[in-house]
Every structure is written in C-alpha cells, then in structure tokens.
Amino acid sequence: MSEIKKIVLIGAGNLATHLAIALKHAGKEIMQIYSRSIDSAKILANLVQTDYCTDLSKITDKADLYIIAVKDDVLTEIVRALVIKNKLIVHTSGSVTMNVLGQCSTNFGVFYPLLTFSKDHDLNFSKIPLCIEANTNYNLELLKHLALSLTDKVFFINSEQRKILHLAAVFASNFPNFMYSIAETLVKDNNMDFDLLKPLIMETAEKVQTVKPLQAQTGPATRGDHKIMEMHLDLLEKYPEYKNLYLIISNEILRKKNE
C-alpha cells in the first residue's frame, strides 16, 4: 500500500495552520498552501516553508492528498470550483457530508479533528481525536495511517454520526462554556473573583474523564433540594434570563433523575 507523503492544504485559518504544522512535524511534505487571502497564504506558506497560491486553478496536481480546511460556507464554494480528478481529497468539517467531495474527485473522505481551535492556544495534536471517513476501504486505510502519525485517538465516524458528534460537542463544550460565563457574571457582580470557581470547573471536567456524567451529577436539583432551588431563584431575580435557564435546566435534571 502506498502512503500519503505530499499534501496540499486548502485554507490558511486556525485549523489549516495547526494541521500544516502537525503534518510537517510528522514528516509530511506540505507541497502548497491555497488561500483566497494572499496575506494568510503567505504567512502559513512561510511558516511551513512552502509555496502558496490564491487561484484554485494553480493548485498542483502532484500531491497525494488535498485537505480542505475552511469554514463550511467557503467549503461549498471551493468544492464547486475544484477538480482534481482521481486524487484523494478530504474536508475537515463536522457538519458537511462526505459525499459533496464526489464533485471534485473519485477518491474522497473526511479528516475531522474534534476540538475547538484558536490560533494563540498552544495545541497538542496527539491528544485530539481524529474522526475519519472515506469512500473506499483503501482510502480509509490511507487516512488512518496518516491520522495515526498525528494521534493515537483515531475513530471511524460516518457522515451521519459526525453530524451528531458535532451537535454533541455543542453540549460538551459551547454550552458548558456559556454556563461558566454566567457564573463569572454572578461572582463579579458581587465583588468576588472568578478565580474562586476555576478549581471547581477543572474538577468537574476531570471527574467525567473516569466517571459517567450522570453518576457525577451533584447539586440541588439532583438532590431534589427545593428549598435551595427556591433561594437560588430568588437570588436570580435581577437576571430574568438566567433565572429562566436555571429553572429549565434544573427541571430537566429532576426529570432525568426520576426517569
């Protein structure tokens, strides 16, 4: 079986940057960077010492793999305009089906790293689950081999599952983070430091690494402690939206408990 060695990155944003660095570090050759923005293309090409282009028609046909790492709306545009015949092409989106790439090539798949990326946040790729999917077993093996050069957390996830996973990630990450921001507002408004809550936030996340979330569930709603819940609702009088959230989430915890 052949191996993926030469890679073209289509995109120069956060994910593309992290991927380019990690792939180069894993010994792969980044042949070319494409970005609509010449500045972004230049910066990333410079970072991984390669060429760049801003015109889809200038993309080389000599690579083993083409990775489209762009926002979903840009992905649709690129897919419409890009033809690379039979070369393996993947996208990195959590919510776009694999088959859209059938327009670009006869060999395609998905290479979806399940993590929130931010440029400044230092990222250890070896800890990130990589979800892969491909249109043939052969392509899947190629992608698996590549994924394993970056992390040992490689999962075969089909397009339907990936959509659910993307949704689950909202509940696992975006919504908890929003809860943190409400907690911050509450302590700040009462002259306390958010630092007070940081160990608790860490402990809560750490606990579910080994214990099932429902088993780890604590708090007044879990205990059915209506007296405390009433007190909390009174304290939230000034924050009608948070009071509403408190009520709805607590009721849902109570319901789940009584299931």
Q: Where are the beta strands (DSSP E) in 12-128?
A: 29-34, 51-53, 65-68, 85-91, 105-113
Q: Which is nearer to a copy of itself, 38 or 231 (CB)?
A: 231
Minimum CB distance to a copy of itself smaller for 99 or for 213: 213
Output 37 or 118, the one with its CB closest to a copy of itself.
118
To a copy of itself, the closest distance from the beta carbon of 168 in angstroms equals: 4
Q: Classify strands 29-34 and 85-91 as parallel, antiparallel or unpaired.
A: unpaired
Nearest-approach distance from CB 6 to a copy of itself, in angstroms: 29
Shortest Å, Cβ 89 to a copy of itself: 23
108, with CB counted inside 10 A (0-12, 13-18, 19+), is buried
Return the number of the residue (55 or 259) whose C-beta is nearest a copy of itself: 259
- What minimum distance in Å lies between the beta carbon of 161 and a copy of itself? 5
Q: Give the closest residue to 54 by CA, choosing from 15, 81, 18.
A: 81
Task: Please identify, using beta-carbon distances, which residue of 77 and 193 lies nearer to a copy of itself.
Answer: 193
User: How far apart (Å, rounded) are the C-alpha atoms in residues 91 and 77?
Assistant: 13
The structure tokens listed for 95 are 């919510």
H helix and E strand count, the chain: 11, 8
- Min dist. Cβ of residue 28 to a copy of itself (A): 22
